[in-house]
Amino acid sequence: MFTSMPFWILNILHFGNLWGLYLQITNAPKYIAEVVGFNLRDSGGLAAMPHLTRMFMGLAYGNIGDFCKKKGLPTKFIRKFFVIFSHIIPGILLIGIPFVECQPTIVVALLITSMGVNGAAVLTNLQNPQDLAPNFAGSIFGIISFIGGTTGFIVPAITGAFINHGNTIANWTWAWIIGGCMYIGSGLIFILFGSTKQQEWNKKKEDDDA
């Protein structure tokens, strides 16, 4: 497993996804409240909209993926095409956030849209473990989630390093750009080098039993 290139490409894809998600979950409310001047928590259900949108869009993408498979589209095409939605588009939207400056409606719309289209992760980094090794999909997901989970403290630390010099749009800009680039970069790497081919090490258990 650990010498498998597709496994490590999947790790990169999942890491980039969690980087973008943690940036939005942990830092977006602070940015909107303290820089943009709009408190999401005082706006009722609006604070939950990004997460609800992602959940419902995830269900929709799942159905779209099933439809594509029934139409005979190759799994490799489905995974790589929907990376455009799970990673590339969210990355572009995050990069755009600091450039709309103090316009809360647009900032919130960008965040909701970013989280929503990222629901396509159900067809990309969340599904690729099953492609590579169905016998070890659970183990793969545990490993990539452990590695990706490190973004939970890396992202706040990096963001904090920028805004320690002042809680301004200029200082926040690089946090959003880095987050967007992590999305886009990891997505492009998967599009170029990712695989959906079942790996040889998945068959070892079956061969031994035989």
Sequence-distant (≥ 6) Cβ neighbours of residue 66 within 8 angstroms:
none
pLDDT attached to residue 40: 66
Using pLDDT thresholds of 50, 70 and 90, give the confidence band for residue 41: low
Q: Does 208 score more than 80 pLDDT?
A: no
In the predicted structure, residue 207 carries a pLDDT above the cut 90: no
- The residues near 195 (Cβ < 8 Å, ≥ 6 apart) are 5, 6, 9, 76, 131, 132
State the maximum Cα–Cα separation within the chain, in Å, rounded to a whole number.
Answer: 65
Judge whether residue 205 has pLDDT over 60: no
Domain hosting 104: range is 5-209
pLDDT at 42: 65
Nearest Cα neighbor of 51 from 96, 101, 111 is 111
Average of per-residue pLDDT values in the chain: 93
Residue partners of 206: CB distance under 8 A and separation at least 6: 135
Q: What is the pLDDT of residue 116?
A: 97
pLDDT of residue 47: 76
The answer, yes or no, to whether residue 43 has pLDDT greater than 80, is: no
147/58 Cα distance (integer angstroms): 23
Q: Please state which of the ranges 10-14, 35-39, 81-85, 147-151 shows the lowest mean pLDDT.
A: 35-39
With a cut of 90, say whether residue 20 has pLDDT above it: yes
Per-residue pLDDT for 196 more than 60? yes
Find the mean pLDDT for residues 45-52: 83
Confidence of residue 29 (pLDDT cuts 50, 70, 90): confident
Distance CA 21, CA 116 (A): 11
Q: How many CB atoms lie within 10 A of CB 193?
A: 12
Q: Determine the average pLDDT of the residues in 32-41.
A: 81
pLDDT at 92 over 70: yes
**46-75 average pLDDT score:** 94
Q: What is the pLDDT of residue 37?
A: 85
CATH number at residue 85: 1.20.1250.20
- pLDDT tens digits, residue range 124-172? 999 999 999 999 999 999 999 999 999 999 999 999 999 998 889 999 9
* Number of domains forming the structure of the chain: 1
The 10s digit of each residue's pLDDT in 182-193 is 999 999 999 999
